[in-house]
Structure 1
Amino acid sequence: MNNRIHYTKCPVCSGTSLSPVLEATDNTVSKEKFPVWQCADCTLRFTQDVPTADTIGPYYKSEEYISHTNTSKGLINRLYHVVRGITLRNKRKLIESETPSGRGRLLDVGSGTGAFAGEMKKAGWNTTGLEPDPEARKVALTNHGITLEDMDRFHKLEPGFNAITLWHVLEHVHELHPYIARLRELLAADGRIFIAVPNYTSLDARKYEGAWAAYDVPRHLYHFSPASIRALMQANGLVVKKYKPMWFDSFYISLLSSKIKSGSTSWLGAVSTGIRSNMKALSDTQKCSSVIYIISRS
């Protein structure tokens, strides 16, 4: 298993009290099963025995991997594209309200097909988008008129970004601490980092367990709780200032999860789960299906 990573220490806090909590299946590409373990100290969950950074590429080769394509096959994907227009505007408004500068330099890491980076560029931000997939970069230029750069640029960029965004990206990063440390280096003194990740402490995650679509093994290397995000940021001289909910994610993930669990989409059951999950998050944002963490230097 030289091309697999078996963790003996927690990737976030280096704790050694690790234990398996569930098993999830790669329903997108390989149909392989992967164990998910949890750290008793910081509560991070992580996919055990994941492919290394240089061997994980084939697990992304699927038209169903929607962040890197514009596929509209199937009703769920069509709904995703309808909702995306709303969420793009909401993200832009959030960043402009939470970034002290209002506008300025923005770095979007893991831009996919460039919808968000294009939105911010049109709104007047000096936008830099990074995306490792060359096909996704082509789509971004064609559909959104924005030239995305390869991830090789990550370590060559000039610091001073007023806002840095990672929309469902951090869970894919093999080297967590060096990555977060680099983000801090790139951030302006009064800048903000916006990190959105799935939240396994949500009601929908608890309901679907190993069939919860946001586990998305092995592409999702880590499965964060709010506590584990705080621990990761603190270890790198950063602090979580605010938590913002992503209300649509509970419905989208529940629809995908219901199909994984039963073989067909239970629209009524999934929508009901999404509503109950969001109701729980109304009183505690940290229980939302996906959370946006607004982060600054500590």
Structure 2
Amino acid sequence: MDPETTHYLTCKDYTVSNKIFDLLYHEALDMLETFPQPKIEELSGYYESDDYISHTDSKKSGTEKLYQFVKKIALGSKLKLINSFKTTDKNLLDVGCGTGDFLLTCKNNGWKVTGVEPNPKAKISAENKLRVESDSKIYSEINHLKNEAKFDVITLWHVLEHVPNLDIYISTLKLLLKPNGVLIIAVPNFKSYDANYYKQFWAAFDVPRHLWHFSKKSIQGLFAKQEMSVIKILPMVFDSFYVSLLSEKYKNGKSNFLKAFYIGLISNIKAMGTKEYSSLIYLIKNT
């Protein structure tokens, strides 16, 4: 083990395998790493579950209904954010587009959209929603796109934590972004109150699907290596409630809406001072 790496927590995969994983703390970047990390060819197996909500439009359970309700609200906020940027051609790439709701929202509001989604079922769902045409294509891998700067905005909504080769992936994003374009990265924040409260039961650790766990310092450091800088950080206030609901289930074996709402609320209140919200959105540009 690297001398600057220490053990942080031991967590369980509650979604698929029930296997145990360690979280290792890298002091230099202020970042956690899931250990051991599954081999790349094994990763897809950890997503094969009906409980993995971002790959389905299901509204059967209470948690799924809540997720879909919050997602609908979030779509409006995301659209408002990207519409605030001055762009030339309104070319958008959404990496990890899931079932395509964000892409469809953007397309219906004048954006030329492209998506990346490795999950076959979610990809088919996205293609069906978009009625894929020549200017609206969904790729299964980001390296299937030509490495040329052609996107005004690239979004990764809770995706970067899933990426095996971080530095290579970030360099690819840089190549795909126009010189004056904006990269939007949303990731969980292990420095938040709800993360510290639930500890090994915190649902946003989501091992081993989440390979990395970021702080503000780690995001700034990783992108600085690619000569990119964080120009603004925004909160995702709904995440603390949803993550707390799942965390309650992992910790106590059942969903406790009132307790989850209370912890999510306290987390947001404390974050008003610390700025350490459950999830954060980073706006990033080339330096």
Common fold: TM-score over 0.5: yes
1:93 aligns with 2:80: yes
Conserved in 1, the CA contact under 8 Å of 2:95 and 2:142? no
Give the corresponding residue for 1:280.
Answer: 270
- Cα distance, 1:185 vs. partner? 1.1
Give the corresponding residue for 1:80.
Answer: 67
CA distance in 2, matches of 1:28, 1:251: 19
- Cα distance, 1:102 vs. partner? 7.4
Conserved in 1, the CA contact under 8 Å of 2:149 and 2:179? no
Conserved in 2, the CA contact under 8 Å of 1:199 and 1:290? yes
Give the corresponding residue for 1:216.
Answer: 206
CA distance in 1, matches of 2:139, 2:8: 38
* Aligned partner of residue 42 in structure 2, secondary structure: coil
CA distance in 1, matches of 2:79, 2:155: 11
CA distance in 2, matches of 1:242, 1:170: 17
Conserved in 1, the CA contact under 8 Å of 2:147 and 2:175? no
Conserved in 1, the CA contact under 8 Å of 2:104 and 2:129? no
Read off the aligned partner of 1:54 and give its amino acid letter. E
CA distance in 2, matches of 1:236, 1:58: 31
Instruction: Count how many residue pairs are aligned between Structure 1 and Structure 2.
Output: 283
Match of 1:48 among 10, 35, 59: 35
Give the corresponding residue for 1:243.
Answer: 233
1:36 aligns with 2:23: yes
Q: Which runs of 4+ in 1 moved over 3 A?
A: 143-147, 152-155
Once the two structures are superposed, the pairs formed by residues 263-278 of structure 1 within 5 Å of their partners are 263-278=253-268
RMSD over aligned Cα atoms: 1.5
Give the corresponding residue for 1:129.
Answer: 115
- Cα distance, 1:144 vs. partner? 4.3
1:262 aligns with 2:262: no
Conserved in 2, the CA contact under 8 Å of 1:168 and 1:197? yes
CA distance in 1, matches of 2:144, 2:271: 34
What is the TM-score of this pair, normalised by structure 1? 0.91
What is the TM-score of this pair, normalised by structure 2? 0.95
Cα offsets for 1:161-197 (capped at 9, x unmatched): 1100000000000010011011111111111000000
1:290 aligns with 2:279: yes
- Cα distance, 1:76 vs. partner? 1.2
Conserved in 1, the CA contact under 8 Å of 2:194 and 2:244? yes
Give the corresponding residue for 2:224.
Answer: 234
Match of 1:170 among 160, 168, 174: 160
CA distance in 2, matches of 1:145, 1:44: 40
Structure 1 stretches lacking a partner, 5+ long? 1-7, 10-15
Q: In structure 2, do the counterparts of structure 1 residues 248 and 145 end up closer, same or farther at CA, with 3 Å as the change threshold?
A: farther
CA distance in 2, matches of 1:89, 1:240: 23
Give the corresponding residue for 2:53.
Answer: 66
Conserved in 2, the CA contact under 8 Å of 1:214 and 1:253? yes
Structure 2 stretches lacking a partner, 5+ long? none
CA distance in 2, matches of 1:206, 1:172: 21
